[in-house]
Amino acid sequence: MAKFMDVHHGMQGITAEQLHQAHDADLAIQSEENVVFEQAWADPESGIVYCLSEAPSAEAVQRIHERAGHPADEVHPVPLTV
Amino acid sequence: MAKFMDVHHGMQGITAEQLHQAHDADLAIQSEENVVFEQAWADPESGIVYCLSEAPSAEAVQRIHERAGHPADEVHPVPLTV
């Protein structure tokens, strides 16, 4: 398992409710890929959403996001944390 | 006070020690701008570093990063969290 930060662009105008719904859609199926989505942060103005997860691979993170209807534009391992 | 995510590019090869030193340099002066750096995540391969903070403004975050020697390439307010 490793930590990943993934980034979604083009989410201008996202509301708190939409962020919650998107996150819940991930949580509902994440165990099928052994992914744990931990936190997400959104900027409705620039349309960027950041998601932090623990997962076996970047591909596993992306498969959950794709199946939940919101593929990420970038998925980066973040092995260093402070 | 609001939450901000800032992003640094071009940090390929960053080590755990360098990330800690950079973070410590921020912590040493952050109170002068009422910024609180909370967490940071780094991907040495793509050279991206993400920093999460609480701050009065994006400019305050950037001033601390600049004075600490590592200006951010992007600073985004992230008013929505999940």
Q: What pLDDT, on the 0 to 100 scale, is given for residue A25?
A: 98
Listed in sequence order, the residues at least 6 apart from A21 whose beta carbon sits closer than 8 Å to its beta carbon are none
Tally the domains of chain B: 1
Looking at the domain assignment, is residue A62 inside a domain? yes
Among B23, B41, B77, the residue with its CB nearest the CB of A3 is B41
Looking at the domain assignment, is residue B66 inside a domain? yes
Distances, alpha carbon A78 to alpha carbons A17, A23, A63, B15, B16, in Å: 28, 20, 18, 12, 11
Distance CA(A21)–CA(B82), nearest Å, equals: 10
Looking at the domain assignment, is residue A40 inside a domain? yes
Phi and psi torsions of A68, nearest 5°: -80, -5
Distance CA(B62)–CA(A62), nearest Å, equals: 31
- Nearest residue in B to A80, CA atom: B42
Looking at the domain assignment, is residue A61 inside a domain? yes
Looking at the domain assignment, is residue A82 inside a domain? no
List chain B residues with CB under 8 Å of A79. Answer: 42-44
List, as ranges, residues 3-62 from B with C-beta within 8 Å of A: 3, 5, 14-16, 19-20, 23, 39-46, 48, 50, 52
pLDDT tens by residue, B60-71: 999 999 999 999
Q: What pLDDT, on the 0 to 100 scale, is given for residue B50?
A: 98
Average confidence (pLDDT) over B3-28: 98
Residue numbers of the domain that contains B32: 2-77
CATH of the domain at A10: 3.30.70.3090
Q: What pLDDT, on the 0 to 100 scale, is given for residue B40?
A: 98
Looking at the domain assignment, is residue B82 inside a domain? no
Per-residue pLDDT of chain A (82 residues; tens, 9 = 90+): 999 999 999 999 999 999 999 999 999 999 999 999 999 999 999 999 999 999 999 999 999 999 999 999 999 999 999 9
List chain A residues with CB under 8 Å of B61. Answer: none
Q: What pLDDT, on the 0 to 100 scale, is given for residue A42?
A: 98
pLDDT tens by residue, B29-70: 999 999 999 999 999 999 999 999 999 999 999 999 999 999
Distance CA(A9)–CA(B42), nearest Å, equals: 20
Q: What pLDDT, on the 0 to 100 scale, is given for residue B54?
A: 98
Please tell me the total number of residues recorded for chain B in this structure: 82
